[in-house]
Amino acid sequence: MLHTHRSWLRTMGAVAGGAALVATGVGSASAHVTVTTDRAAAGSTALLAFSLAHGCAGSSTTKVAIKVPKGINSVAPTVNAGWTVTKVSTKLSTPIQDQHGTTLTERVDQVVYTAKTPLADGYRDVLTVSVPLPEDGAGQVLAFPVVQTCVKGETAWVDLPADGQDPDELEAPAPAITVTAAEGTDEHGSAGGGAVPKEATETGEAPAAVVSTNRPGLGVAGLVAGLAGLAMGAMALLRGRRPSA
């Protein structure tokens, strides 16, 4: 069992308990660490893409620790060739059941990416994780505080807006997403069985929501049209071969 490192505890102490759920707007688009998602419906599985393009006051990034809010109990980080990744778990005071009916005695508290080679300031990378969104989370804003450690210093993207405060006013806002109303999806959050584009898995980018075009009605209609065209072609050929009177 891995435990939360001391640096994180020191940084997060001021925001303990408030980082899980907030009820106001999401983080500023100008933040150096931002998050986007391919879907946000309550009860669905979302692919979160954490983007960073700057270090700490110009210093290269060596580590990115993502705090997982309460209500999300399992995380599947995407493997990135330039980073090693570790899931840090914490014990639950009371066992719970996940969406598959499995009893959990611990939950993922953090996902920590460590750069194999420090990411230089001004160079962009994207770190993605897959998470099941709470089934009762519609209308809530989930904050994912991030501590960015660099060769020199660190930046804590952990600021949360107060009620009515504009997140753009925050100096270092925590990345956050807004959970929307539940929709008809399967257990993996797919709206129609569409596949994730190959380039998305190779680059670590979060793909846009995929809409399936495999609709049976379209396939049948195309088959009927094709058969009708074939029949008309055969009739024309027969007429062309009839001997002249």
Asked whether 27 and 176 are in contact (CB, 8 A), the reply is yes
Residue written as token pair 């989930």: 142
- CATH T-level topology, domain 6-203: Immunoglobulin-like (2.60.40)
Single pTM value for the model: 0.65
Each residue's pLDDT tens digit in the chain (245 positions)? 444 444 444 444 433 333 333 322 333 334 379 999 999 999 999 999 999 999 999 999 999 999 999 989 889 999 999 999 999 999 998 998 877 788 889 999 999 999 999 999 999 999 999 999 999 999 999 999 999 999 999 999 999 999 888 877 899 999 999 999 998 644 454 443 333 333 343 444 443 333 222 333 334 344 334 444 544 554 544 455 455 44
Asked whether 131 and 75 are in contact (CB, 8 A), the reply is yes
Identify the pLDDT of residue 50.
98
Half-sphere exposure of 102 (CA within 13 A, CB side): 8
Domain range list for the chain: 6-203, 215-245
Asked whether 183 and 191 are in contact (CB, 8 A), the reply is yes
Identify the pLDDT of residue 164.
86
Identify the pLDDT of residue 20.
33
